[in-house]
Amino acid sequence: MLFYRLLIVVFSPLILAHLIWKSFRLGQPRFLLQRLGFKLKNIPQGCLWFHCASVGETNTILPLLHELHKRHPDLSFLITTNTTTGAEIVARQNLPWLYHAFLPMDWRLTTLSFIHQLKPKALYLVETELWPNLIMLCNDKNIPVNIINARLSNKTSGSNNWVRSVYKRVLSRVTHIYVRSKADQNNYLTLGASQNQVSILGNLKFIPPTSINSESQNITQRDYVLVASSHNDEEYQITKAWNKLNRNELLVIAPRHPERRDTIIKQLKQTGLNSDTIALRSKNDSINQQTRIYLLDTIGELTQWFTDAKIIIMAGSFIHRGGHNILEPAHFGKAIIFGPYMESFVDESELLTAKGAALQVQSFEELGNTIAVLLDNKATRVELEDNLIKTLQPFAGIVNDYADAIDRQIF
């Protein structure tokens, strides 16, 4: 721990400079101030505190918070995130009992300031957010720390001896770890958690999001295929495969990072498309019969496009990125295709493919062929959709299991 704290001190000037630059670029002074432990006056003391890295974890935890609020309507809840996109998800909920703040940097003074001001009832870290100073200081202040929906990769559990020694000491201060699977349990035990610290409760990502009944998009009546959460080169390669099909349907591309818009447009034009065939959501371009690609270069609208998509291509899986959460579109009961690189979502991808509830392809050429098959064969597409709904049904009780575990600890 001493070496970790020394590293934090040594790199503090660089970290602070990055925070200032990012806050300025985002135009959000709150981002900088809260990451330094300030500007927390509007958040009530005694909240149940849930820390989520970004959008995925925030969406995952919302059904649990709704269940806990139903049980304890007088309790307030705080979600902290590392990103502004996570903050926007919380803000859109517009709930009087739900608050947001940016997580303070893992410095002792900023973390102590945060804890002192808010005096949280308990801290729940979602998935893999293991911040050493945060955990140690909460424990010192008698604030229970739990990890929920916990996951841990083989790479992390097999870290070098110094990293493992730090994690082992940190995990000794954690009250309990509620993991998604047996594999996650084994990885936490390997990292230094004790046997009585770890329980398997299942994966909260299998629970439908609270926004599942949100309205669908009202921008176009054309049939479309949706590419969700794409990264650099995926837009180019998928569009090349799409162009070869010469379909009448529209291809909607929702990049993971919309700020890449100009680069994406340049790459799309390299596939042979021109400006007249590419429409941008950020500019409110209309979609007509000439439009081949609709670039959803905004934040917060993706789920509205899940609803009516003929096919959803889950990107981040055709490059060495580890994939994205295929359960987010799965809750909409749509035919889903993803690529070969799903290291971050092995359990989810293996379950869906084993049940015939999603398709995994190994190349962009295979992707193009699979798209054509699904669009031309409604029965095949419907079979995928039905299998998906049946696969997710048995997991409906997981949210209650987590809520019961929290109730037993806190109330």
Domains of the chain: 27-207+397-410 (3.40.50.11720), 224-394 (3.40.50.2000)
Q: How far is CA 334 from CA 56, 148, 274, 323, 344, in A?
A: 19, 28, 30, 18, 21
Which two tokens mark 64? 């649990």
The amino acid at residue 327 is L
pTM of this structure: 0.81
The share of the chain scoring above pLDDT 90, in percent, equals 78
pLDDT of residue 211: 53
Return the half-sphere exposure (C-beta side, CA atoms, 13 A cut-off) of residue 14.
Answer: 5
198-200/293-295 β-pairing: unpaired
Q: How far is CA 5 from CA 103, 104, 108, 217, 376, in A?
A: 18, 15, 9, 48, 59
pLDDT of residue 185: 94
Q: Quick check: 228 pLDDT over 70? A: yes
Which two tokens mark 301? 């609208």
Using pLDDT thresholds of 50, 70 and 90, give the confidence band for residue 212. Answer: low
In this structure, how many other beta carbons lie within 10 angstroms of the beta carbon of residue 123? 24
- Write the pLDDT tens digit of every residue in 312-359: 999 999 999 999 989 989 989 999 999 999 998 888 999 999 999 999
Q: Quick check: 393 pLDDT over 70? A: yes
The pair phi, psi for residue 125, each rounded to 5°, is: -90, 130
Instruction: Provide the b/e sequence for 278-291 (b: ≥16 CB within 10 Å).
Output: bbbbeeeeebeeeb
Token pair 């019961």: residue: 404
Determine the 3-state secondary structure of 340 from DSSP. coil
pLDDT of residue 160: 78
Q: Quick check: 67 pLDDT over 70? A: yes
pLDDT of residue 154: 75
pLDDT of residue 321: 92
Token pair 């100073």: residue: 133
Q: How far apart are CA 132 and CA 145, in angstroms?
A: 12
Q: How far apart are CA 243 and CA 240, in angstroms?
A: 5
Determine the 3-state secondary structure of 179 from DSSP. strand
pLDDT of residue 9: 80
The whole-chain average pLDDT of the chain stands at 93
